[in-house]
Structure 1
Amino acid sequence: MLLFGPFRFDAERLVLYTGQSQQLLRPKVLQLLAYFLANPNQVIKRETLLSALWQHGEYREAALTQSINELRQALGDNAQSPIYIRTLPQQGYQWICEVHVAKCAKKRAKQIGVAVSLATVLLFAVDKMHAIWPLSSSEQIQQKPALLILPLQNETGVEANAWWGYAIESELKAQLQNHYQLKPKNQAPELLKLPTEKQPHTLALTLKPRQQRFILQASLDGRTKDVIVEQLGHNFSDIATRVLLALEVTSDHENNTAVPVKDFSDYYRGLQALNEYGPELAKSYFEAALVRVPEHLPSQLELAQVAWQQGDVTQAKAHFDKITLNDASNGLQARYHLYKGTFEKALGEFEAALNSADLGLRAAQQSQQIELIANAYQLQADIYWHTLQWQDYTLAMNAAYALIGSRSFAYSEAQRSFYLANPPAAGPQEKNHLNLVKSKKVLSQAIDYYRQISANLELATSLFAYGQNYLVPVNEGEQSLLEALDIVADSGNEYFKVQVLTYLGFYYIQLHQGEKALSYLDQVQIHESFLPAIEQLRLLKAMAWMDIGLAKNDQNALDNAKRQYHDLLETDYISPLTRANTQLMLAWIGLKQGELETAQTLTEQALMAYQRFELSDVAIYAEYTKMYIHLKQGQPELALALADSNNTEAHLMLFYTSAAAQMINNDVLAAHTKAKLSALRNSDGLLQQLDEFTRVIGHTDKNILDLLDAPYSVYCQSKWILE
């Protein structure tokens, strides 16, 4: 028996106790604990754990992340202030709590003549567990054949019949989920582009008219069968069973028993309206569904979601509070917690949102629905991003990526807050260029696909994300964003509309079109409870006014921006990142107005915050701002002390380094950094300034530093190119 903290662990039986109570954990989590206890105080790489416990499988990265989280939760451990498991960024994990072997365990080992190490005993137990315990939920998912159910093709000539496809698809999923790994429908665009041998099994449905009846044509793996549908009523279960019997597909239809059938047609009409038109039309259908069946939980959930998307916070809270989950399936419980968590995140209630995400993840894992599990990880990642918990953010995004691939980045990254400078967005580490390339491809495929099937809201989501991928040419991205706005403007999804309008404001600030940015930002109308969105809007409006002031040398615009920045700093709700960004913006205005000391103080405050939160990509803006201040103060040596020799992409850092080197007559360094600068796109203007600077550097009759662009000229830093 192993002792640590208040816990006892039976190494042979793999059982964890607290006092006299047994902790109920999945076998894989217990195996993970056994491995840690066998290797206390050692730094264990993720790949080592994967090799030992998850040798094969597409989802092993996600399974490890999930098991680490479950183990921490069982032990009451915290990743930020660990007692048991310490996370070492870029290295792995370390068990840091002291482990004792109970005397009785030693005595028993001696009696049976076991002369093996603790590690050997534990690892033997781990191997043994593979044989006697059932597989984890992730492993069970992996063993099932993959199946993609395509949206029903409605060839009846009556557009209103399209709702029926949502109903039959839902029933087919219910009968197939225990036998197949059901691929998310919105993963269809990229799955259908894969080589044939890598595609999942695909079930295609087509509804056709025949005299006074309908024919449902179902195709799977080269087999096509027709099922006669007398009328489009609510006999979905019977029709789905007949389809699967005709196709000779293994399902749960053998276990079906006759139960009273309720009319949920309005609910499915609502789903169709929600996906194809937006919440404005969908709301009336969900309300009608609840008139027919007041206890219908899915309709209650959708109404709660619709309410806050339309900006009715009070009504949304009332809907969520009325919902009870006593008899709800795991899938419905997961949806409830994820809907609620997303709402709480939008309100800035991040602690509550993370709790909802954790509950949603647990229920999603029990349901074994890939899309729900991935959505839970993505919600966790969004929250960790907002709260600047980079290690947890990376783990959650990796878990989502393991489940649904590049789509996790394609859509999630588009929902992040916008940074003060240019894409790629700053973060805890450099953007993975490969992910952005894949995301661009995935989004392009999705746009084509959703155009074909007229799924307008899905199309708008893909267009919005595509317009934010910085690998997309500027003019193409602009058209994508504007089309997304056209679609969402009349959908009734006010929150989505706010997101698109706000990003368009940011977009035009980056192109230094401040007036155009304000024209979009001024259209934003959002409920006062959505604090993160309001904070973001206030910051961007101030940035737009600052851009106008800098571009046109407009003192009134600069004063307006300055006043708005100070107002933002004095609000009750302001995130640490926005505070740092605001301080740096004010420093840039100070430089423009000749207030060097004020600018220096503000820049140092911003830099300290960026460094504290490991925002290296953003910190560079503060670093080269400090370099510029030192140059203006006649301190080139101090400027050079801040230069980062490893950074080869920051235009202004290379620019100021070369100028400082010239000021101290270090010709080698000046030429070296100038050569690096010349290798970057959009550097011609800076190179011309350096040439002019070289010609007049010996003169004392003018302020030669006026020749150098100031750090607020993010034109120089921009990676966006009009093509």
Structure 2
Amino acid sequence: MYCFAEFTFIPDTACLNTASEQVRLRNKVALLLAYFLQHPNEVISKDRLLSELWQHGDFREASLTQSIRELRAALGDDAKTPRFIETIPQRGYRWICPLKLTSKSHHSKSANASKQNIFASTKKLIFMGLCGLVAMSIWSTTRYFEDDVTADEADSQQHIQQQVESLIVLPFSNNTGNADMAWLELGLSDMLSVDLKRANQVQIVSPAQGNLLLLEHQISWPTLPNYIRAMLEKEQIDAALVASVRLLKQQQIIDFQILFRDGRVQQGSMSFDNLAANIDRVGHQVFQLINPKQVLTSEHSQPDLSAMAIAQGMQALQTTGALDAKRFFSASLTLKPSLWAKAYLSQTLITLGQWQEAEQTLFHLVNISLEHDPYLDAFVHFLMADLMSKKRSSREQRLDSQERYQKCANTRCKTSC
């Protein structure tokens, strides 16, 4: 057990306690905290943390960043003014909070005193052992098979309770028989992955990334569960979400399966008048199936009235193009103002080269406090960086073009003279 500031942390149970609250940390977050506490005041590089705590995989660095963010949130720590985890630029992280004496040190002192009683009790133990040996041999014979079954059940229970650290959301299948609902395939699945990402609990691989992985592994879609599990094993992803949408009596029904890398399967079905407007409820159900002992912390959902337009815009960005996507996102904002719709519209404007309009929208978003939604905050800053990069590249190309034109003009002038 470790004690620091107002907290006590028990690594065996992954519990972080205060005087009034107990929080059970996600497995990777608990391992990360334990590692920091074992190396206080020591600068620990990202490579070292990845090597010690993460298996090889394409998404482990993103998982480390997410786990650091989640640990800071559990501790109430601020990266800008840290009390616990200090970020050392270009070098890594350092645990800076002093540790207090724990019951472990008290136990080591009492252990010395207890050694004096060991010799006196040894004689009694030998005598009791001889008497019990005969009885034990008879009892162990009758209990052999029962103990074996119990051990198997315990191992199975421990296996089932393993927490999911990463989930890939694969494109949904449109089984509605309606071509106009093709937006379900990527648009709705992307909305679900965004909603799960915002919960800050599990590393999410988006449907677009999932498509790339399917191509990389030469897997046609849809495919059999065995091929998906083989991909999960190679990429070190814990589970995959496979879903299809159908219509029944004017209801949109989503049937989904969660395929775990270890062979388990969880499945469910939900029915709504409008799936896009209730995507947060679908996400909550999925999360409860993959990690039933944790509580989904996200309290924000996509706007109800404009959710379908957002999903259609996401689909258009990846299929028919940015011009169609702009119409959907603009329609979403007309139905109901939304920060997410503004961010997606800015992304579309950047793609279309309408940089001035995109810049105005992004500056408006940057000046709004987005602390309640760190994923949106990160997305907006990514778009700002992308816009600045494109503008800089365009400016350099324009100057280079002017320089070539001037050289050409000078050459012609000399020739005519």
| TM-score, structure 1 as length reference | 0.31
The SS at the match of 1:325 is: coil
The SS at the match of 1:148 is: strand
Residue 54 and residue 35 in structure 1: after superposition, are their counterparts in 2 closer, same or farther (change >3 A)? farther
Match of 2:278 among 206, 228, 235: 235
Q: Does 1:186 align with 2:186?
A: no
Per-residue CA shift, 1:212-244, capped at 9, x if unaligned? Answer: 444322011244443334455623334444566
The SS at the match of 1:271 is: helix
Task: Report if the CA contact (8 A) 2:191-2:311 is conserved.
Answer: no
- Matched to 1:340, the amino acid is M
Equivalent residues in 2 for 1:199-598 (5 A)?
A: 199=235, 200=237, 201-210=239-248, 212-221=250-259, 222-232=265-275, 234-241=277-284, 250=292, 252=295, 261-294=304-337, 296-323=338-365, 324-327=367-370, 328-348=372-392, 530-535=394-399, 560=408
Q: CA deviation at 1:203?
A: 0.5
* Aligned-partner Cα distance in 1 for 2:363–2:299: 33
* Aligned-partner Cα distance in 2 for 1:536–1:310: 23
* Aligned-partner Cα distance in 1 for 2:96–2:361: 50
Q: CA deviation at 1:272?
A: 1.3
- Matched to 2:258, the amino acid is L
Q: CA deviation at 1:274?
A: 1.3
The SS at the match of 2:168 is: strand
- Matched to 2:210, the amino acid is A
Match of 2:195 among 174, 183, 201: 174
* Aligned-partner Cα distance in 2 for 1:61–1:171: 19
Residue 74 and residue 534 in structure 1: after superposition, are their counterparts in 2 closer, same or farther (change >3 A)? farther
Q: CA deviation at 1:304?
A: 2.3
Q: CA deviation at 1:329?
A: 0.7
- Matched to 2:234, the amino acid is K
Aligned to 2:126: none
Q: CA deviation at 1:273?
A: 1.1
* Aligned-partner Cα distance in 1 for 2:388–2:277: 35
Q: Does 1:198 align with 2:196?
A: no
Residue 145 and residue 198 in structure 1: after superposition, are their counterparts in 2 closer, same or farther (change >3 A)? farther
Aligned to 2:143: none
Aligned to 2:54: 57
* Aligned-partner Cα distance in 2 for 1:314–1:123: 44
Residue 214 and residue 50 in structure 1: after superposition, are their counterparts in 2 closer, same or farther (change >3 A)? closer
Match of 2:169 among 141, 149, 152: 149
Q: CA deviation at 1:147?
A: 0.7
Identical pairs, percent: 18
Q: Which runs of 5+ in 1 are unaligned?
A: 1-12, 15-25, 37-44, 76-84, 94-121, 132-142, 349-416, 418-529, 543-558, 565-723
Task: Report if the CA contact (8 A) 1:154-1:207 is conserved.
Answer: yes
Per-residue CA shift, 1:108-130, capped at 9, x if unaligned? Answer: xxxxxxxxxxxxxx99979999x
Task: Report if the CA contact (8 A) 2:232-2:240 is conserved.
Answer: no
Q: CA deviation at 1:314?
A: 2.6
Aligned to 1:456: none
Task: Report if the CA contact (8 A) 1:227-1:242 is conserved.
Answer: no
Q: CA deviation at 1:257?
A: 10
Q: CA deviation at 1:305?
A: 2.7
Task: Report if the CA contact (8 A) 1:286-1:299 is conserved.
Answer: yes
The SS at the match of 2:253 is: strand
Per-residue CA shift, 1:38-88, capped at 9, x if unaligned? Answer: xxxxxxx979x828x963325479969x99xxxx9989xxxxxxxxx998x
Q: CA deviation at 1:309?
A: 2.9
Task: Report if the CA contact (8 A) 1:300-1:319 is conserved.
Answer: yes
* Aligned-partner Cα distance in 1 for 2:298–2:382: 30
- Matched to 1:274, the amino acid is L
Q: CA deviation at 1:195?
A: 4.8
Task: Report if the CA contact (8 A) 1:298-1:332 is conserved.
Answer: yes
Q: CA deviation at 1:341?
A: 1.4
Q: CA deviation at 1:258?
A: 11
Bigger relative CO (Cα 8 Å, ≥ 6 apart)? 2
Give the length in aligned residue pairs.
278
Q: CA deviation at 1:180?
A: 2.3
Task: Report if the CA contact (8 A) 2:167-2:203 is conserved.
Answer: yes
Aligned to 2:147: none
- Matched to 1:50, the amino acid is R
* Aligned-partner Cα distance in 1 for 2:180–2:201: 32
* Aligned-partner Cα distance in 2 for 1:182–1:281: 27
Residue 35 and residue 164 in structure 1: after superposition, are their counterparts in 2 closer, same or farther (change >3 A)? same
Per-residue CA shift, 1:8-40, capped at 9, x if unaligned? Answer: xxxxx89xxxxxxxxxxx98999999446xxxx
Residue 128 and residue 185 in structure 1: after superposition, are their counterparts in 2 closer, same or farther (change >3 A)? farther
Q: CA deviation at 1:303?
A: 2.2
- Matched to 1:278, the amino acid is G
Residue 230 and residue 297 in structure 1: after superposition, are their counterparts in 2 closer, same or farther (change >3 A)? closer
- Matched to 2:167, the amino acid is L
The SS at the match of 1:234 is: helix
Task: Report if the CA contact (8 A) 2:166-2:202 is conserved.
Answer: yes
* Aligned-partner Cα distance in 2 for 1:278–1:86: 39
Q: CA deviation at 1:172?
A: 5.9
The SS at the match of 1:182 is: strand
* Aligned-partner Cα distance in 1 for 2:193–2:63: 27
Equivalent residues in 2 for 1:153-164 (5 A)?
A: 153-164=173-184
CA RMSD of aligned residues (A): 5.3
Task: Report if the CA contact (8 A) 1:233-1:265 is conserved.
Answer: yes
Task: Report if the CA contact (8 A) 2:63-2:203 is conserved.
Answer: no
- Matched to 2:334, the amino acid is V
- Matched to 1:531, the amino acid is R
* Aligned-partner Cα distance in 1 for 2:373–2:97: 37
* Aligned-partner Cα distance in 1 for 2:172–2:319: 13
* Aligned-partner Cα distance in 2 for 1:235–1:304: 24
* Aligned-partner Cα distance in 1 for 2:410–2:64: 49
* Aligned-partner Cα distance in 1 for 2:285–2:179: 25
The SS at the match of 2:52 is: coil
- Matched to 1:202, the amino acid is A
Residue 301 and residue 243 in structure 1: after superposition, are their counterparts in 2 closer, same or farther (change >3 A)? closer
* Aligned-partner Cα distance in 2 for 1:61–1:242: 24
Q: CA deviation at 1:337?
A: 1.0
Task: Report if the CA contact (8 A) 1:34-1:126 is conserved.
Answer: no
* Aligned-partner Cα distance in 2 for 1:61–1:230: 36
Task: Report if the CA contact (8 A) 2:40-2:96 is conserved.
Answer: no
